[in-house]
Amino acid sequence: MTNLDICNAAVRLSGELAPETQPDYLARSVSLLALVCTECLPLDDAYRAANGLEARDWSPRVSILLTDPFPLCDVFSAPAAYALAALLTLDENGELSAAMYARFASLLADIRRGLPAKSEPIADVYRVL
Is residue 68, in this structure, part of any structural domain at all?
yes
pTM of the predicted model, to two decimals? 0.86
- The arithmetic mean of pLDDT across residues 25-39, rounded, is 92
Is residue 101, in this structure, part of any structural domain at all?
yes
Range of the structural domain that residue 11 is part of: 3-113
Is residue 13, in this structure, part of any structural domain at all?
yes
Is residue 36, in this structure, part of any structural domain at all?
yes
Higher pLDDT: 129 or 73? It is: 73
5-8: list long-range contacts, CB under 8 Å, 24+ apart: 5/70, 5/77, 6/33, 6/70, 6/77, 6/80, 6/81, 6/84, 7/33, 7/66, 7/84
Is residue 124, in this structure, part of any structural domain at all?
no
Total domains in the fold of the chain: 1
Mean pLDDT value across the chain = 90
